[in-house]
Structure 1
């Protein structure tokens, strides 16, 4: 059974030129994590086994299982030979709602739709967000520079995604990591919901170390996070859904360039500098 710190040390053979030599390497943990609501197992995801309370809370919010953190009365993480269970005590009305629309998911890393019962359920309509300003080019550059300093697991293993909450200047306020990009974002959403209200402000943006799929847009919208910046590309559906949500969406964020994909900008003059950055 993997450890609970997110990584472990393994013995390897490392090729150096024409020879092989024994060495040690740090690898990311990936374990089965079951989310169990009031005794009912709802979903099993492959995840990095750290910050699991944040993961469970963020997943519950981003999937609409709860509407606010106070509807979770308690959590316990229980270890089993084959994985981990997060046992969640849910408010009665939310548990009844969950039973009516229950999905039977068995998610692999990066899977966000397994078990959806219909196309309408799979795609859905994103929640409208409170309009957020487009992150400035300077803020995005600064956040990209800072992010690596806040990703110890990625630096150590090279195998995990990160999701960061950044302020208007690009300072990184909070980061969560996971082998799954959806999981990293859920962990961040849970951490934000559980943190002081100072983190729950409009003038922030989320930076993710992955592509921006429509599920990532939906999760940010569900958490009322109005600006999403991805280091890789968005999908066409993500762009469509971001526009419906009134969300700012930026892709291909790299030092010196990025691409703006959405039409929404509450401060077009203030952010005029962004219009020439691509």
Structure 2
């Protein structure tokens, strides 16, 4: 699992301001939801690949982040394909109450593509930014909310701790499962009820371990005299660079291009000819 893990490198993406990386991620997510054509999806995928190459992160390491949702994507794609209805066209295949339409296949592919993109970019963000950087960036972006007494620092701290502990909990789960397998747990059984029963000896030690880690963390913070955000300073201050502004403006331009490709505001014929 790659979400929550940091891959050290000296790339331009690693050196970028975390505030701008968070803004670009939000802009990217909004843009992906506006994608309606295969051309626009391919357009966004191209820039995601360029971002991965600029980050100097192994592509296989990024693709590992897709393992946790691949089952969800496959199930969602299958359900979209068999339950899609299109009264204006003839189904390609029929089986009882299920009908498969060509437009249903297209819609299922677009949905799966959208889900994969929505996981890829956050994975790149966590691989190129430490939890501390993301915490500082989020706190800086939400700092105007302090005027209405919103607990910005506490929210950023919770997010930072969660990102840091995700890989640790996954590793702990793997250790517990291996220990239970050695005791004869039926994780490989095809019977779903036996699988659920076998997971109980995993969940209970995992909860106990999680609470123990939370208690240790609270003791560590208390021993370092942590008393909230008031009066605290940062060792590394965030600095905005020209390259960060350029990157944000570039992704704004990408969003405009995607909107133009989807809606063709000026009615240009070559876009309609591409089937967009």
Shorter-chain TM-score above 0.5: no
- When normalised by structure 1's length, the TM-score is 0.23
Structure holding more strand per residue: 1
For the pair shown, the structure with the greater C-alpha radius of gyration is 2
- When normalised by structure 2's length, the TM-score is 0.23
Structure holding more helix per residue: 2
- If asked which structure has higher relative contact order (CA below 8 Å, sep 6+), I would say 2
